[in-house]
Amino acid sequence: MDEIVKAAMRKWPNVPDCYAWLHLDARGRWRIGAWPGEPITHVGLKEFIGRNYQQHIDGSYIFQNGPQRVFVRLAYTPYVYRLSDAHSLELTAHSGQAAGVVQQWFQDEQGHVLAQTALGIGLLDGSDMNAFVQRCEARGGLPEFHSLKCGEVAARFGFVQNPQPSPSN
């Protein structure tokens, strides 16, 4: 988390939370406004959001925008992974973070590929599928895929796709 964000949190500890404003689509793009929102295109803003994106204690994912927690609506998973370079199977999250070692691969009933890594569960960006298959085949074949259903992913991996304010907010 950026130091400027930490300082703002100390200075203004009681800023209200924000819901239904920031979204992460299935391609790893940040979007703002009413669902599905408009894509954020400013590189600096996307990087700032990525550096200050984290899981909240309730399983939601948030962007810590200075002193304000902005709860993120997820189109599918909290991370969208891309192949890191032109040759390896290493993954980088939409947030810019290295995913780390893939612990398990999954495929849902719609054919989406998901990776469980040290960072968390994430969807492999569909635009990387051909390169992913080619690289796996060059290394001796596809990895073992575990089956799962789209509707079970959030509960299985402990995250909230569409956070809502509590009645007391």
Integer Rg of the chain from CA: 17
- Give the pLDDT score at 169: 58
Spatial separation of the C-alpha atoms in residues 115 and 32, rounded to whole Å: 26
Tally of residues, the chain: 169
- Give the pLDDT score at 7: 79
Segments in the chain below pLDDT 50 = none
pLDDT digits (tens, 9 = 90+) for 14-44: 788 999 999 999 999 999 998 888 999 999 9
Q: Say how many C-beta atoms besides its own lie within 10 A of residue 12's C-beta.
A: 11
Phi, psi of 88 (to 5 degrees): -95, 180
- Give the pLDDT score at 4: 78
Structural domains of the chain, with CATH: 3-74 (3.10.540.10), 79-157 (no CATH)
Cis peptide preceding 13, ω within 30 of 0: no
Share of the chain above pLDDT 90, in %: 76
